Structure 1
Amino acid sequence: MSGHDRIAADEELVRRAQGVKLLALDVDGVLTDGGLYYGPDGEAFKRFDVKDGHGIVLWRDVGFASAILTARSSSMVEVRARELKIPFVLQGERDKAKGFEKLLALAGVGPEEVAYIGDDVNDLPVLSRVGLAATPADGRPEVKRWVHYVCERPGGHGAVRELCELLLKAKGAWDQALAIHPPVGDRR
């Protein structure tokens, strides 16, 4: 069964997705592949997936907000968040439970209105509280046992895009997103 067929068959997942107002994202292992690349002067680089970014744009352009909640701090995350117009960026939140409380207050939403995608055990305090918890295909086994949805794609390689599409389709906003960003031409 394909991922989209699996989603349509899971009424509970669709119900959870319909209640989401805020998409919250971990960074390392979710928006990136988890690798850190160091330059000769010790500066770190991260690789972000354009498809994941476009999923966030589709989500934003139909009127929904996104957030970043990460334990690490990086200027590259600030740059990527600005590019994607992500309004809520909480970095250096080693205690993700406390960071999540800050995020809820900033965004003005309840935990049941949040979809969060995380990949490791430090994400469990957030994943256990949100309305829809997700992890990339390569998320830790301990995390996979707690989430409502395990993506088919790995972190940094389309997992965020997959979750954005799931949310938009469950909310009946996929056609609206495509109308804002129409496919080019007709390939019949």
Structure 2
Amino acid sequence: MTYHTRFTQDVLERAKNISILFLDVDGVLTDGSIYLTENGESIKKFHTLDGLGIKQLQQLGIAVVIISGRESPPLKKRIAELSIQHFYLNVANKLTQAQAVLDQHQLDWSQTACMGDDWPDAPVLKKSNLAIAPPLAHYEITQLAHYTTQNHAGHGAVREVCDMLLVASGHYDRLWKDALQ
């Protein structure tokens, strides 16, 4: 089995013309755990695989948009490291925010993919052309998803989605070939 065959034809067809990838943070870019120091500061763990995948999408003109219900200094630092230009933190209504992003970029839902893990993500997942969940997402979210990643959240799940978009857009093989040189 090649890497490409882990994605069904239906999923690859949905992924073909994606212009925006909406991402939640806790339970998607992280494993969902929240570590607190004795001073009440939060600590988050991010995976480097996800970071490279995000960078690859950005280089191809696919916008990665963070919409999170929370905010933390570690998250802001990671967003800056990855040069993510569109991020919205402490968002109560993710659907309203996602629609505003689409309006700003003059795009529609047929050009969107979304990865989320819990109920606040459901409205955006439901409207997106490609809905993705990590394997430990809430049951109802997995039922909305067109694809559930094999990798767990915070352990390369976002990279798996980035790779899927690269395969669907025909860029994966070239990028892999370039990486070998």
Map 1:146-185 → 2, pairs under 5 A: 146-178=144-176, 182-183=179-180
Q: What is the Cα-based RMSD across aligned positions, in Å?
A: 1.8
Contact preservation (8 Å) 2:47, 2:156: yes
Structure 1: tracts of 5 or more residues without a match: none
Measured against aligned partners, the alpha-carbon deviations of 1:167-186 in whole angstroms (never above 9, x if no partner) come to: 10011011343356x136xx
Map 1:62-141 → 2, pairs under 5 A: 62-141=60-139
Deviation at 1:15, TM superposition (A): 1.3
Q: Secondary structure at the match of 2:98?
A: helix
Aligned residues: 181
Measured against aligned partners, the alpha-carbon deviations of 1:34-72 in whole angstroms (never above 9, x if no partner) come to: 111111211111111111111111211223221101111
Flag as ranges the 4+ runs of structure 1 deviating above 6 A.
none
Contact preservation (8 Å) 1:88, 1:107: no
1:164 partner letter = C
Residues in 2 aligned to 1:2 and 1:121: alpha-carbon distance in whole angstroms? 33
Q: Which residue of 1 aligns with 2:141?
A: 143
Q: Which residue of 1 aligns with 2:56?
A: 58
Residues in 1 aligned to 2:83 and 2:173: alpha-carbon distance in whole angstroms? 22
Q: Secondary structure at the match of 1:128?
A: helix
Q: Percent identity?
A: 35
| Counterpart selection for 2:40 from 42, 48, 54 | 42
Residues in 2 aligned to 1:62 and 1:123: alpha-carbon distance in whole angstroms? 25
Q: TM-score normalised to the size of structure 2?
A: 0.92
Measured against aligned partners, the alpha-carbon deviations of 1:79-122 in whole angstroms (never above 9, x if no partner) come to: 11111111100111121121212222334321111111001111
Contact preservation (8 Å) 2:4, 2:167: no
Structure 2: tracts of 5 or more residues without a match: none
